[in-house]
């Protein structure tokens, strides 16, 4: 059976990304380097699946390094579910910390909306009882 090969332009269009994104993903180890035919990149059809995984992981807030680990940092026999669970539990801790910080920022901003200080120095001066 003949393996379907896609040019960089075809794969980029299919995935809804720019060709430069594909070259970047190759350079950072997210996408395997394709075979070259007459100097042109020719990707296996499976590269589209990898790009969908990258898109999914980016949507969940994973960094390039984290996505690389998800794709290549586990034993080949590790099922996808175990990979996602390991990575998602760590990322969820990070997201909860960001949410906590954002809530603190929101509370402070709400407080600042009620500020009655005349000069900025008053805002940071210790309050006297």
Q: Cβ–Cβ contacts within 10 Å for residue 35, how many?
A: 12
- Are residues 127 and 115 part of one domain? yes
- Give the span between the Cα atoms of 48 and 31, in whole angstroms: 10
This prediction has a pTM of: 0.77
> Can you give the pLDDT at residue 11?
95
> Can you give the pLDDT at residue 94?
93
- Are residues 85 and 129 part of one domain? yes
> Can you give the pLDDT at residue 129?
60
- Are residues 118 and 106 part of one domain? yes
> Can you give the pLDDT at residue 70?
95
CATH number, residue 61: 1.10.1660.10
> Which domain-ending residue is among 72, 87, 121?
72
> Can you give the pLDDT at residue 125?
75
Q: What is the number of residues in the chain?
A: 129
- Are residues 64 and 3 part of one domain? yes
Token pair 């996602």 is found at: 84
- Are residues 90 and 63 part of one domain? no
> Which domain-ending residue is among 27, 47, 72?
72
> Can you give the pLDDT at residue 13?
95
Please give the helix or strand (H or E) that residue 35 lies within, else none. strand 35-37
Domain that holds residue 109: 74-129
> Can you give the pLDDT at residue 92?
95
- Give the span between the Cα atoms of 27 and 89, in whole angstroms: 27
**Total structural domains within the chain:** 2
Kindly list the averaged pLDDT for each block of 10 residues, start to end, along the chain of length 129. 82 94 96 91 93 96 96 94 95 95 97 92 77
């Amino acid at each position: 059976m003949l393996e379907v090969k896609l040019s960089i332009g075809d794969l980029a269009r299919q995935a809804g990304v720019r060709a430069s994104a594909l070259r970047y993903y190759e350079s950072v180890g997210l996408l395997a380097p394709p075979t070259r035919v007459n100097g042109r990149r020719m990707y296996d059809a499976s590269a589209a699946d990898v790009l969908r995984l990258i898109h999914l992981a980016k949507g969940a807030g994973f960094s390039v390094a984290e996505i690389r680990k998800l794709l290549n940092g586990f034993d080949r026999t590790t099922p996808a579910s175990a990979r996602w669970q390991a990575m998602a539990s760590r990322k969820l801790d990070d997201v909860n910390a960001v949410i906590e910080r954002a809530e603190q920022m929101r509370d402070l901003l709400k407080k600042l909306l009620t500020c009655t200080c005349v000069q900025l120095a008053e805002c940071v001066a210790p309050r006297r009882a």
